[in-house]
A and B are shown apart, each in its own frame.
Chain A
Amino acid sequence: MKTNTETLPSACWNTITTYHNHQTKQVNAFLKKWELSHTMLEVLRCLKATTCTSQKEIAQSIQVTDGTISQGVKKLFARQLIKKYRHRKINYFHLTPAGELFLNEVLPAYEAFQAQQFSLLSLAQQKTLYELVTQLHTTQPEEGDAR
């Protein structure tokens, strides 16, 4: 270990985690009126982007564990926002027409909400932050190579 003082990267990670936890809380509070959690919305968005996919692929795509999304998937299924079909022992999901309509209603409001969250930064600052976060992604090995 280098020093007894916190290194810059670990200090930055603490900042990211604090920000992430803070922001997730805000998002969940915002989505409450649609009875959605952040994870559930991410599942719907993932299904909108790719026509149909398995639970494992959804989890990988939004970078959480299978267990994290399974509750949300069940609820979305019960609300008939998503449908599943089974192929070779794997459940694949896709949006129902009702799910599409629902997402079309939620997404513009959600984008406006996120824009409001970022509006504390000037456009130049938003751009800087975006570039710095992109750098964090690009210094990583390709997905799949990661341990």
Chain B
Amino acid sequence: MKQQAAFSSIGHWQSIQRVHNRYVKEVNDTLKQWELSRSQFDMLYTLYQQRSATQKSLEATLELSSGSISQTLKKLMQNRLLMRKRIDREKRIILTPTGETLVKESAPVIEVIDERYFKAFTPQDHQTFNQLLNKMQSNHF
């Protein structure tokens, strides 16, 4: 027998979408004071955590196309927040001191926003939430 959802699936999707749009808008508005977009911030933050990365590994971590990665990279390099460096014969990308200062200044502010949304979540809730959303993406209709 086909299972029937007790609530509207459109409503369910809309609810997820609304919270996502609201969060993105809030983060983008907040990042304006550092003249950053969310995708630029995510890249800087990733490089801060990983210390260095290759263009390929950034693609994997940030789950973005090579096109949008190279565009973001270009912009951040123009603004002298990132630079390329050869480490062990590999061309890697690292933060400049200015980039590092910017992450140290902005990341705690973004973390406060991130945490505010999830403040009612237990660690178990986080795990369940991630599992369910990941499961939803295993579809290929």
Name A's B-contacting residues (CB within 8 A): 1-2, 4-20, 22-24, 26-27, 45, 62-65, 107, 110-111, 114-123, 125-130, 132-140, 146-147
Selecting from B71-79, B80-88, B89-97, B115-123, the interface stretch reads B115-123
Name the A residues within 8 Å of B8 (CB-CB). Answer: 111, 114
Which residue in A7, A18, A134 is a CB contact (below 8 Å) of B63?
A18
B121: nearest chain-A partner, CB-CB:
A135
A34 to B136 CA separation, bound complex (whole angstroms):
25
Which residue in A20, A63, A135 is a CB contact (below 8 Å) of B120?
A135
Report yes or no: B133 in contact with A136, Cβ–Cβ below 8 A: no
Name B's A-contacting residues (CB within 8 A): 3, 5-10, 12-13, 15-26, 29-30, 48-49, 63, 103-104, 107-108, 110-111, 114-121, 123, 125-126, 128-130, 132-139, 141
The interface residues of chain A, by DSSP majority, are classed as helix
Report yes or no: B137 in contact with A18, Cβ–Cβ below 8 A: yes
Which residue in B23, B48, B123, B139 is a CB contact (below 8 Å) of A117?
B139
Report yes or no: A120 in contact with B136, Cβ–Cβ below 8 A: yes
Report yes or no: B129 in contact with A12, Cβ–Cβ below 8 A: yes
The interface residues of chain B, by DSSP majority, are classed as helix
Tell which of B19, B48, B107 has the most Cβ of chain A within 10 Å. Answer: B19
A21: nearest chain-B partner, CB-CB:
B63
Report yes or no: B118 in contact with A139, Cβ–Cβ below 8 A: yes
Name the B residues within 8 Å of A18 (CB-CB). Answer: 63, 133, 137
Report yes or no: A9 in contact with B15, Cβ–Cβ below 8 A: no
Name the A residues within 8 Å of B132 (CB-CB). Answer: 121, 125, 128-129, 132
Name the B residues within 8 Å of A62 (CB-CB). Answer: 18, 21
A11 to B141 CA separation, bound complex (whole angstroms):
27
Known interface pairs A135-B120, A135-B121, A147-B26. Does A11 touch B130 (Cβ–Cβ under 8 Å)? yes
